[in-house]
Chains A and B, each alone.
Chain A
Amino acid sequence: MPEKVLVKLENVKKHYPVRRGWLQRTSARVKAVDGVSLDLYDRETLGVVGESGCGKSTIGRTLIRLEKPTEGKLYFNGTDISELPARAMKPFRSKMQMIFQDPFASLNPRQRVGPALEEPLTIHTSLSKGEKRERVMGLLEEVGLRPDHYDRLPHEFSGGQRQRIGIARALALNPSLIVCDEPVSALDVSVQAQVLKLLRSLQEKHGLTYFFISHDLGVVRHLCDRVLIMYLGQTMELAPVRELYKNPVHPYTEALLSAIPRPVPGRKRERILLRGDLPSPADPPKGCPFHTRCPEAMEICKETRPEWKEIGPGHRVACHAR
Chain B
Amino acid sequence: MKDPVLTVEGLEVRFQGAAGEIPAVQGASFSVHRGEVLCIVGESGCGKSITSLSVMGLLPGSAEAEGHIRFDGRDLLRLNREEIRQIRGNDISMIFQEPMTSLNPVFTVGFQLMEPLVVHRNLSKKQAFEEAVRLLERVGIPDPGRRMEQYPHELSGGMRQRVMIAIALSCEPKLLIADEPTTALDVTIQAQILELILKLKEDTGMSVILITHDMGVVAETADRVLVMYAGKVVEEADVRTLFEDPKHPYTKGLLRSMPNVDDDTYTLEAIPGTLPKPGEIQQGCPFHPRCPEAMDRCREENPRVFTHRPGHMSRCWLAEEEDQDHAGESVG
Contact = CB atoms under 8 A, between A and B. Distances in A.
Interface of A: 51-52, 158-160, 188-194, 196-197, 215-219, 221-222, 241-242, 245, 255-267, 269, 271, 273-274, 276-278
Nearest to A241: B264
Complex A-B, nearest 10 residue pairs according to Cβ-Cβ distance, in ascending order: A261-B216, A218-B259, A193-B270, A51-B186, A190-B271, A193-B268, A259-B191, A194-B270, A259-B187, A188-B43
A190 B43 contact: yes
A51 B156 CA distance: 13
Which of B215, B261, B266 has most chain A Cβ within 10 Å? B261
A97 B209 CA distance: 43
A189 B159 contact: no
A191 B45 CA distance: 14
B254 A274 contact: no
B261 A217 contact: yes
A278 B271 contact: no
29 contacts: A158-B274, A160-B274, A191-B257, A191-B271, A192-B259, A196-B268, A218-B259, A218-B260, A221-B261, A221-B264, A222-B259, A245-B262, A256-B187, A256-B188, A257-B261, A261-B214, A261-B216, A261-B220, A262-B216, A262-B220, A263-B218, A263-B243, A263-B255, A263-B260, A265-B222, A265-B243, A266-B240, A271-B191, A271-B195
Interface string B259-282: 111101010111110110000000
B240 A265 contact: yes
Given A189-B254, A222-B259, A273 B191 contact: yes
A216 B259 contact: yes
Interface in B237-295: 239-240, 242-243, 253-255, 257-262, 264, 266, 268-272, 274-275
Contacts of B123: none
Contact of A192 (B188, B189, B194, B270): B270
A219 B270 CA distance: 13
Contacts of A274: 188, 191-192
Contacts of B217: 261
Contacts of A265: 219-220, 222, 239-240, 242-243
Contacts of A263: 215-216, 218-219, 243, 255, 258, 260
A52 B213 CA distance: 20
B108 interface: no
B158 interface: yes
A299 B172 CA distance: 43
Given A260-B216, A263-B260, A274-B188, 18 more contacts: A188-B275, A190-B270, A191-B257, A191-B270, A193-B257, A193-B259, A193-B270, A217-B187, A217-B261, A222-B259, A245-B261, A257-B261, A259-B190, A261-B190, A262-B216, A265-B220, A265-B240, A269-B220
Contacts of A219: 259
A187 to B, nearest CB: 9
Contacts of B205: none
B259 A221 contact: yes
Interface residues of B, number: 46
Contacts of A241: 264
B328 interface: no
A246 to B, nearest CB: 9
A273 B266 CA distance: 27
Contacts of B257: 189-193
B16 interface: no
B105 interface: no
Nearest to B142: A276
Contacts of A242: 264
Contacts of B261: 217-218, 221, 245, 257, 260, 262
Contacts of B259: 192-193, 216, 218-219, 221-222
A159 to B, nearest CB: 8
Contacts of A271: 191, 195
**Residue of A189, A197, A267 with most partner-chain B CB within 10 A:** A189
A242 to B, nearest CB: 7
A255 B274 contact: no
Contact of A273 (B158, B195, B220, B239): B195
B292 to A, nearest CB: 13
B86 interface: no
